[in-house]
Each structure stands twice: as structure tokens, then as C-alpha cells.
């Protein structure tokens, strides 16, 4: 491609970042008062909104689990979130797969035995999509669950990494995503570095996997720093308002 | 904005201390000999006989699920000769956001004369009842019991629609019509 160059010879990407830099992340917690927990996140131009309801009684009795909580997750993309209008915001194969991915990710992180035969509902909506949608949804859901007061082993932080010109790229945007290069989505528990989600598209030589994985873990830890700062600020605000009374 | 340095804030995944120094309390879990936080809130250390108990407390309302032995506040939803169905509205002193289903069987209404209990003389639909969770029951509802002096109906309306006053452990009286209706009445201390 003469016009579009994913990585310039000077080492800069299309939006001016270096390969190991994240886009700007803006987080808000508690944006919806009628939900038990809610969070809004912007990773560059990707915007995601997550809400959590529960734990409450199981809606359909047949699905109740006698020893642990039942997680119900629904992922949707707004029709206006992409350049071309989506005709169907949820229910297609991609949304169903992403719903299942998010549910499996948080089943590993939530301490499920504390709420037997209960249900936790997670709703995630992508308001604007510009690459790394999955990572933005997982990060938003983490903040929403912590806002709801649901006990978790650790934060779940996610990032997406690509590989171009022998260089791993962190936090890819839509142009880098659609260029067809390999795409690795990783979500970890940052303290113990356990992997809770690992997904890979396209072809990548095994020799380069170590490099890509290392950058993905670093990306997750950078995101974790920002998520933790958001929760810390909110907890400090709450504790100050309590001590004032 | 200056932060309050007295209060220490814990976030999920943060290591609070070693198991040799602390016991794990609410809002924490144990892994590999260390105590970790699983909630975002304020760290609390409470002195106990052997080891101090460390816990993480949230200012906001806690998420509560009825457990065995909890005293729950219920509203009677339907009555039949063998049991009555209730909606659990609160657990101990916490109001639930969404109700859970419970069931009080005929045998669990009182401790004496179990075979002569008639459900419709103990509970009516709409009554508020204090009960204790005896088991998690089958897949449908919690098993509750009112076989205690402090458990039973705490609020009921008469046929005329007025709030009734308890006159004995098995009767309530309507202040309007002076009619007495049979109920399994809870004995509540005055300061409660």
C-alpha cells in the first residue's frame, strides 16, 4: 500500500503512537444509578458501556446452579457504532460468541461460591467501535462488577496486540485490525498473571509468539494501572463523604 | 484534594497480609497462605482472641443472599393447606433489591402440636412474617421456619383493611371492628 503504512520506518504508527503505547483511556464508574454497577470506558475512539445487575434470584428455575452463581451476559453493538450501519445489534453469531467469551472470562474471576442459586446479569454495549472492542468490553465489565460490590479474585484487564513488520503493536485500532495481520486478544488477572482469555486470529509464526505475548501482558498491566486508579479514586471519594457525616 | 491518610483502601486482588498474622474476614479470600481482598472498600482490622481478623467493608449496600440460620423478613404470597409461599424481602437488617422465594411448611409453623396446625389460621396473604432459614430447600425456594417465640407475623391487615394489633401469641385484633383473627404472632421486644 502506497498511502496507508501501518508502521513507518521511523517506528510510528498511523495515529502517531509507538508500537508499545496504548491509546488514551478514559474510565467512569457508576454512570447509571438504576443499575447495581455500571462503568463507561473509552479506549481511544472505542467506547463501551457495561452494566451489572445482581446477585438476584434466578429468572428461569431450571438453570439455577445449587453451588454457585449463574452468570448471564449479553453483548451488543449499537447500530451506529461502526462506519456502516449494523442491521442487527445483537443476536448474530459474533455477538453470541463475544457474550460467551465475556461470561467465561468472568466466571474465572468472580468468587462464584458466595452466591448459590443466584444470578448476575452483565450487559455490555459498544457505543463506538474503533478496534480492540473485546478488550474495551472486558475492562468496562471489570469496573462495573467492582462498582456493584461483587467479590472478585482480581481485576481482569484485557488488551489486543498485533504483529506487523517484525514488530508487535499494542492496543490496535480499526485500521490495524482490518489490515489482516495477526490479532491476539489477551485477558489476565494482573497480580498472579493467570490468563483468563486467549484468542488469536490469522497466522503467526511460533517463534514470534513469545514477543507478542510479552507485549500483550505488558498492555494488560498498563490497563490495570489505569483501572485501579479509577477504583481507588472512587473509593476515596466514598470514604471521604462517609467520614464527613 | 487531600486524601484521608487514616483510611486505607483495598481493591480486589490486593494482598492484605499473611495467614500467620491475620484471619480472613468478610470481603477477603485466602490463596497460598496469604489473605487477599475481593472487594473495593476500606480495610478493617478487628482484634480477636488469637489473631486479628482483617476484612474489607464497603460503605454502600452489601449484596446479601439468604443463608442457613438467617432471620428474614417475608411477605406471604399464597396459602394452601400444606404450606404457604412467601417472598423474602429482607435478610437480617438488609433489604433485598429483588425478592427471593421461600416456603413455610405446615410442620415448621410452631414447635408444639405440629399435627394440629392449620395454615390458614396462622398466615394470610399479605402478612409480613419474620422467619428463619432452615435449609436452602429444593430448586424452587428456601425452607423457612417460624417455630420460635420471636418469629411469626409482625404486621397484618384485617378483613376491614385496618392494621391489626397483637393481643396474644395466636390472635390479632382489628381496631376498627374489634374482630379477632387468628395468626401465629411474633413476640417482638419493645426496643426492636
Q: CATH number of the domain that A165 lies in?
A: 3.30.230.70
Closest-approach residue (CA) in chain B for A241: B59
Asked if residue A167 is part of any domain, the answer here is yes
Residues B129 and B163 in one domain: yes
Say if residue A189's pLDDT is above 70.
yes
Sheet holding A183-189, edge to edge: A167-170, A157-164, A183-189, A194-201
Nearest CB to B13 within list A61, A148, A189: A189
Asked if residue B191 is part of any domain, the answer here is no
Distance CA(A189)–CA(A216), nearest Å, equals 13
Asked if A154 and B140 come within 8 Å (Cβ–Cβ), the reply is no
Asked if residue A10 is part of any domain, the answer here is no
Asked if residue B190 is part of any domain, the answer here is no
Say if residue B3's pLDDT is above 60.
no
pLDDT score of A217:
94
Asked if residue B2 is part of any domain, the answer here is no
- Residue B67's pLDDT band (cuts 50, 70, 90): confident
Nearest-Cα distance to chain A for B98, in Å, is 6
pLDDT score of A1:
45
- Set of chain B residues whose Cβ sits within 8 Å of the Cβ of A240: 3-4
Cell reading at A64 = 439455577
Asked if residue A212 is part of any domain, the answer here is yes
Lowest mean pLDDT among A126-135, B91-100, B171-180: B91-100
> To which residue does cell 472487594 refer?
B39
Nearest-Cα distance to chain A for B53, in Å, is 18
- Which residues, other chains included, contact B161 with Cβ-Cβ below 8 Å and sequence gap of 6+? none
Which residues 142-181 of B have a C-beta within 8 angstroms of A? none
Residues B43 and B121 in one domain: no
Say if B40 is an interface residue toward chain A (CB within 8 Å).
yes
pLDDT score of A242:
65
Instruction: Find out whether A35 and A141 touch, Cβ atoms under 8 Å.
Output: no
CATH number at residue B48: 2.40.50.100
pLDDT mean across residues, chain A: 86
pLDDT score of A3:
60
Asked if residue A174 is part of any domain, the answer here is yes
Asked if residue B139 is part of any domain, the answer here is yes
Asked if residue B134 is part of any domain, the answer here is yes
Instruction: Find out whether A231 and B13 touch, Cβ atoms under 8 Å.
Output: no
DSSP state of A22: P
Residues B53 and B74 in one domain: no
The mean pLDDT value for B147-155 works out to: 85
Tens of pLDDT, residues A100-126: 899 889 989 998 888 887 889 999 989
Asked if residue A66 is part of any domain, the answer here is yes
Residues B131 and B36 in one domain: no
pLDDT score of A49:
92
Say if A60 is an interface residue toward chain B (CB within 8 Å).
no
Distance CA(B8)–CA(A4), nearest Å, equals 50
Tens of pLDDT, residues A14-26: 889 889 889 889 9
CATH number at residue B131: 2.40.50.140
Asked if A239 and B58 come within 8 Å (Cβ–Cβ), the reply is no
Cell reading at A224 = 490495570
Q: What ipTM was reported for this prediction?
A: 0.74
Residues B76 and B150 in one domain: yes
Residues B177 and B83 in one domain: yes
Hey, of A193, A235, A242, A243, which one would you mutate to test binding to chain B, going by the most B CBs within 10 A of its CB? A235
Q: Where are the beta strands (DSSP E) in B4-151?
A: 9-10, 15-18, 23-24, 28-31, 34-37, 41-46, 53-57, 71-79, 83-91, 94-105, 128-135, 142-145
Which residues 61-120 of A have a C-beta within 8 angstroms of B? 61, 64, 66, 111, 114-118
> Which has more confidence, B94 or B171?
B171
The mean pLDDT value for B181-187 works out to: 85
Total domain count, chain A: 1
pLDDT score of A99:
92
Residues B82 and B34 in one domain: no
Give the domain range for residue B17.
9-57
Helix (H, G, I), strand (E, B) or coil at B37: strand
> To which residue does cell 494488560 refer?
A220
Of A121, A74, A77, the closest CA to residue A96 belongs to A74
> Which has more confidence, A27 or B7?
A27
Asked if residue B187 is part of any domain, the answer here is no
Lowest mean pLDDT among A49-58, A112-121, B134-143: B134-143
Task: Give me the total of CB pairs closer than 8 Å, taking one residue from chain A and one from chain B.
Answer: 93
Asked if residue A6 is part of any domain, the answer here is no
Distance CA(A165)–CA(A163), nearest Å, equals 7
pLDDT score of B2:
41
Lowest mean pLDDT among A39-43, A241-245, B29-33, B113-117: A241-245
Total domain count, chain B: 2
Distance CA(A177)–CA(A190), nearest Å, equals 25
Tell me whether the omega of the peptide bond preceding residue A55 falls within 30 degrees of 0, making it cis: yes
Nearest CB to B12 within list A36, A152, A242: A152
pLDDT score of B5:
46
The mean pLDDT value for B32-61 works out to: 78
Residues B105 and B178 in one domain: yes
- Residue B66's pLDDT band (cuts 50, 70, 90): confident
Instruction: Find out whether A76 and A125 touch, Cβ atoms under 8 Å.
Output: yes
Cβ atoms within 10 A of the Cβ of B35, count?
Answer: 23
Distance CA(A48)–CA(A41), nearest Å, equals 5
Residues B103 and B127 in one domain: yes
- Set of chain B residues whose Cβ sits within 8 Å of the Cβ of A116: 65, 136
pLDDT score of A123:
93
Asked if A146 and B65 come within 8 Å (Cβ–Cβ), the reply is no
Residues B15 and B38 in one domain: yes
Nearest-Cα distance to chain A for B56, in Å, is 10
Distance CA(B29)–CA(B35), nearest Å, equals 6
- Set of chain B residues whose Cβ sits within 8 Å of the Cβ of A233: none
Asked if residue B105 is part of any domain, the answer here is yes
Asked if B9 and A191 come within 8 Å (Cβ–Cβ), the reply is no
A85 membership: H or E segment, kind and range: none
Asked if residue A123 is part of any domain, the answer here is yes
Distance CA(B182)–CA(B120), nearest Å, equals 9
Hey, of B3, B5, B10, B13, which one would you mutate to test binding to chain A, going by the most A CBs within 10 A of its CB? B13
Nearest CB to B98 within list A56, A114, A189: A56
Q: How far is CA A184 from CA A198, B51, B154, in A?
A: 7, 46, 60
Say if A36 is an interface residue toward chain B (CB within 8 Å).
yes
Q: How far is CA A30 from CA A36, A53, A141, in A?
A: 9, 12, 12
> Which has more confidence, B2 or A93?
A93
> To which residue does cell 456493584 refer?
A148
Lowest mean pLDDT among A88-97, B22-31, B145-154: A88-97
pLDDT mean across residues, chain B: 80
A27-61: b (≥16 Cβ within 10 Å) or e: bbbbebeebbbbbbbbbbebbbbbbbbbbbbbeee
Say if residue B1's pLDDT is above 60.
no
Give the domain range for residue A108.
15-244
Amino acid at each position: 500500500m502506497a498511502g496507508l503504512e501501518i508502521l513507518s520506518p521511523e517506528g510510528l504508527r498511523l495515529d502517531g503512537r509507538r508500537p508499545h503505547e496504548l491509546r488514551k483511556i478514559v474510565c467512569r464508574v457508576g454512570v447509571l444509578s438504576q443499575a447495581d454497577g455500571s462503568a463507561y470506558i473509552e479506549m481511544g475512539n472505542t467506547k463501551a458501556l457495561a452494566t451489572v445487575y445482581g446477585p438476584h434470584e434466578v429468572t428461569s428455575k431450571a438453570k439455577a446452579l445449587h453451588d454457585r452463581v449463574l452468570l448471564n451476559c449479553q453483548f451488543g453493538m449499537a447500530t451506529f457504532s461502526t462506519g456502516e450501519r449494523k442491521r442487527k445489534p445483537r443476536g448474530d453469531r459474533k455477538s453470541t460468541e463475544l457474550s460467551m467469551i465475556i461470561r467465561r472470562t468472568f466466571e474465572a474471576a468472580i468468587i462464584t461460591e458466595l452466591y448459590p442459586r443466584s444470578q448476575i446479569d452483565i450487559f455490555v454495549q459498544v457505543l463506538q467501535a474503533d478496534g480492540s472492542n473485546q478488550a474495551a468490553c472486558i475492562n468496562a465489565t471489570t469496573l462495573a462488577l467492582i462498582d456493584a460490590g461483587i467479590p472478585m479474585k482480581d481485576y481482569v484487564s484485557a488488551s489486543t496486540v498485533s504483529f506487523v513488520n517484525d514488530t508487535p503493536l499494542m492496543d490496535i485500532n480499526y485500521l490495524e485490525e482490518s489490515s489482516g495481520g495477526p490479532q491476539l486478544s489477551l485477558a489476565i488477572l494482573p497480580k498472579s498473571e493467570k490468563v483468563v482469555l486467549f484468542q488469536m486470529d490469522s497466522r503467526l509464526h511460533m517463534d514470534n509468539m513469545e514477543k507478542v505475548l510479552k507485549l500483550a501482558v505488558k498492555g494488560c498491566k498498563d490497563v490495570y494501572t489505569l483501572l485501579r486508579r479509577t477504583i481507588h479514586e472512587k473509593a476515596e471519594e466514598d470514604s471521604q463523604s462517609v467520614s464527613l457525616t | 484534594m487531600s486524601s484521608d491518610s487514616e483510611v486505607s483502601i483495598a481493591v480486589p486482588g490486593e494482598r492484605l497480609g499473611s495467614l500467620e498474622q491475620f484471619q480472613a474476614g468478610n470481603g477477603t479470600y485466602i490463596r497460598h497462605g496469604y489473605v487477599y481482598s475481593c472487594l473495593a472498600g476500606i480495610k478493617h482490622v478487628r482484634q480477636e482472641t488469637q489473631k486479628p481478623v482483617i476484612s474489607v467493608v464497603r460503605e454502600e449496600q452489601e449484596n446479601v443472599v439468604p443463608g442457613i440460620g438467617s432471620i428474614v423478613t417475608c411477605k406471604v404470597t399464597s396459602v394452601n393447606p400444606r404450606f404457604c409461599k412467601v417472598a423474602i424481602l429482607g435478610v437480617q437488617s438488609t433489604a433485598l433489591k429483588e425478592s427471593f422465594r421461600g416456603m413455610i411448611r405446615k410442620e415448621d409453623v410452631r414447635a408444639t402440636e405440629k399435627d394440629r396446625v392449620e395454615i390458614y389460621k396462622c398466615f394470610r396473604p399479605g402478612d409480613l412474617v419474620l422467619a428463619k432459614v432452615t435449609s436452602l430447600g429444593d430448586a424452587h425456594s428456601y425452607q423457612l421456619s417460624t417455630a420460635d417465640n420471636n418469629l411469626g407475623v409482625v404486621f397484618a391487615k384485617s378483613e376491614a383493611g385496618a392494621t391489626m394489633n397483637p393481643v396474644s401469641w395466636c390472635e390479632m385484633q382489628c381496631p376498627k371492628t374489634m374482630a379477632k383473627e387468628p395468626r401465629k404472632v411474633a413476640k417482638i421486644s419493645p426496643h426492636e
